[in-house]
Amino acid sequence: MKISVVVPVYYNAPSLPVLHARLAAVATNLSHAEFEFVFTDDGSGDESFAVLKNLAAHDPRVKALRLVRNFGSNPAILAGMTHAQGDAVIVLTADLQDPPELIPELIARWQAGAPVVLAARVARHDPWLTRLSGNLFNWLYKRLVFANFPAQGFDFFLADQKVIRALVQNAGPNLYLFGLLLWLGYPAVTVTYTRGERRFGKSRWTFGKKVKYFLDAFIGFSYLPLRLTSLVGILLAIVGFLYAAFVVLARIVWGFPVEGWTSLMVALLLVSGTQLAMLGIVGEYLWRNLDETRRRPLYVIDEMIGVHAANENGRR
């Protein structure tokens, strides 16, 4: 039995030696299993890849990929999955907020027959704004997209090799890997844990990245935004027609003068703003459709340590 641990890396140089030590301790305790640790450096601007080189020189279980630039955490995870050789693959973050010591329980659930094991958070020690935005995203995603999405979300999971193959084959541009994992429909079980505090570095999730993450997650797996766009358009049209009929009737029957430049401008700005917002939603879908037809690689590898070429440069 071979287990691959895939870790996306982005400005994580300080935490990598500690993470490796904890992974090595877990592997030592699970002596019946063979391990490999596949790290993907997603265009870090620090010494992350140099640290990985040093770790690989002392531990043959360490494999490393360096992407040409920052493609995002999901393509970085996909790159690691593509090159993983294990019978099961575990995806783990590099900041140590998710405990590697949970790995034996994930493996036990997999050996019991579950092809997918989700490590779901029951609490998290993050800044309040991060918790608020994360909880809002998870609440919406669970209710509007996948009912089996864990209430507190997940970044940490195990998947059987057949599931990993399906993920790699079906991955596309603007990838939201965790939604794709649930979309595949393989039976999943859940284990819970409390996410720890960030002790190394700082979060690289900018506001722009969070917005893109939100859009990729919802637009990639739900047509609800388009349906809402149609519904809002229909409702605005009905309200507009009723108001127009009222104005004409009031003028003809009761002789009310047609006045109110201010109210007219408010209505015009409201309707035109809503129309532009709806066009933006349609544009997001069209952009993703265009991106899919281009067939560009999801990532480009610059350097590899201990691994051989698989699906070249992330092309499906």
Residue-level pLDDT at 161? 93
Secondary structure percentages of the chain, helix, strand, coil, to 5: 50, 15, 30
Domain count along the chain: 2
Contact between 47 and 87 (Cβ < 8 Å): no
Q: Find the CATH number of the domain harbouring 169.
A: 3.90.550.10
Contact between 149 and 142 (Cβ < 8 Å): yes
E runs forming strands in the chain: 2-9, 34-41, 62-67, 88-91, 116-124, 156-160, 188-195, 301-305
Residue-level pLDDT at 45? 86
> Within this chain, do residues 195 and 287 fall inside the same structural domain, yes or no?
no
> Within this chain, do residues 287 and 166 fall inside the same structural domain, yes or no?
no
- Distance CA(294)–CA(273), nearest Å, equals 31
Residue-level pLDDT at 91? 95
Question: From first to last of its 316 residues, what are the pLDDT tens digits of the chain?
Answer: 899 999 999 999 999 999 999 999 999 999 888 999 999 999 998 899 999 999 999 999 999 999 999 888 899 999 999 999 999 999 999 988 889 999 999 999 999 999 999 998 887 666 667 777 777 877 877 877 877 888 778 889 999 999 999 999 988 877 888 889 998 989 999 998 888 776 766 666 666 667 776 777 777 666 677 777 777 777 777 777 777 777 777 777 776 665 665 567 667 767 777 777 777 777 777 777 766 776 778 889 999 998 866 544 454 3
The residues near 307 (Cβ < 8 Å, ≥ 6 apart) are 38, 63, 64, 65, 83
| 209 belongs to a structural domain | no
| 211 belongs to a structural domain | no
> Within this chain, do residues 118 and 8 fall inside the same structural domain, yes or no?
yes
| 215 belongs to a structural domain | no
> Within this chain, do residues 168 and 82 fall inside the same structural domain, yes or no?
yes
> Within this chain, do residues 236 and 113 fall inside the same structural domain, yes or no?
no
> Within this chain, do residues 241 and 135 fall inside the same structural domain, yes or no?
no
SS3 207: helix
> Within this chain, do residues 286 and 303 fall inside the same structural domain, yes or no?
no
pLDDT for 237-261, tens place per residue?
A: 777 777 777 777 777 777 666 566 5
Distance set, CA 87 to CA 21, 92, 93, 268 (Å)? 23, 16, 20, 60
| 198 belongs to a structural domain | yes
> Within this chain, do residues 167 and 93 fall inside the same structural domain, yes or no?
yes
pLDDT for 106-129, tens place per residue?
A: 999 999 999 999 998 887 666 667
- What pairs with residue 184 in β-bridges? none
| 120 belongs to a structural domain | yes
Please report how the helices 48-58 and 16-29 are oriented relative to each other, as an axis angle in degrees rounded to 10.
30
| 306 belongs to a structural domain | yes
Please report how the helices 73-83 and 177-184 are oriented relative to each other, as an axis angle in degrees rounded to 10.
60
- Distance CA(66)–CA(49), nearest Å, equals 7
Compute φ and ψ for 142, nearest 5 degrees.
-70, -35
> Within this chain, do residues 154 and 274 fall inside the same structural domain, yes or no?
no
> Within this chain, do residues 257 and 169 fall inside the same structural domain, yes or no?
no
Residue-level pLDDT at 213? 66
Q: Which two tokens stand for residue 49?
A: 């890849």
Range of the domain at 234: 224-294
> Within this chain, do residues 171 and 279 fall inside the same structural domain, yes or no?
no
> Within this chain, do residues 26 and 65 fall inside the same structural domain, yes or no?
yes
Residue-level pLDDT at 207? 64
Please report how the helices 103-111 and 16-29 are oriented relative to each other, as an axis angle in degrees rounded to 10.
40
Contact between 114 and 188 (Cβ < 8 Å): yes
| 131 belongs to a structural domain | yes
Cα-atom radius of gyration of the chain, to the nearest Å?
Answer: 24
Give the rounded distance of the alpha carbon of 216 from its chain centre: 8
- Distance CA(66)–CA(44), nearest Å, equals 9
Contact between 156 and 93 (Cβ < 8 Å): yes
